[in-house]
Amino acid sequence: MKVILIEAVPSLGKSGDVVQVATGYGRNFLIPKKLALEASSANVQVLAGQRETFLKKADDQKRWAAELAIKIENLPCILTRQVGENDKLFGSVTTMDLQEFLNGQGISVDRRKILLSTPIKSLGNFTVPVKLHPDVIAHLKGTVTPAVAEKKKT
C-alpha cells in the first residue's frame, strides 16, 4: 500500500513523502492517527497543491526547533542532590528530572525526546542531547552538585 506522509515518521520519512508500507500498518496505524493519507490519484493531486504548504510548515518547525535549541544550550542547568559517603548520590538524575527543570524554565519538551542513555548517578558535569526535530538536536549542559545538609539544633 502506498501512502502520503502528513507528519514525519522516524522509520519511514518526512512529511510529504510517498512511501510503500504494509497494508495493515497503513490502514490500522498511520491513517487513523492522521500520520498519512492513502496515495490515491486524488490525494496525490491534492498533495501537489499543498506541497508548498507542507514545505513551509516543515521549515517553520525546523526554525522554531533551532531557536529552542539555542535557548536550551544557553541554560545553566544546576541540579542539587542528596549525597552520602564518598559523594555517592541517593538516587539518580533521570529524564523526568531534566524535563521538570526545562518546564521550570518555560520550555515544554516531551521526556522521550531527552536522549539520556543511562541515569546520571554521580556528581559533576554532564551533557544530554535533546531531540527537538529530526534535524535539530540541542545539547543540555549541566552540573550535579551536592545538597547542603541542614544541621539539627539541639
- Looking at the structure, tell me whether residues 97 and 44 fall in a common domain: no
- Looking at the structure, tell me whether residues 112 and 138 fall in a common domain: yes
> Considering the domain boundaries, does residue 152 fall inside one?
no
Q: Is the pLDDT of residue 150 over 80?
A: no
Cell of 9: 515518521
- Looking at the structure, tell me whether residues 38 and 91 fall in a common domain: no
Of residues 51, 82, 17, 111, the one with CA closest to residue 5: 17
Tell me, what's the pLDDT at 149? 61
Q: Is the pLDDT of residue 154 over 70?
A: no
- Looking at the structure, tell me whether residues 75 and 125 fall in a common domain: yes
pTM of the model: 0.68
pLDDT digits (tens, 9 = 90+) for 30-42: 999 989 989 888 8
Amino acid, single-letter form, for residue 26: G
Identify the bridge partners of residue 93 per DSSP, sorted by sequence position.
Answer: 120
Identify the bridge partners of residue 83 per DSSP, sorted by sequence position.
Answer: 89
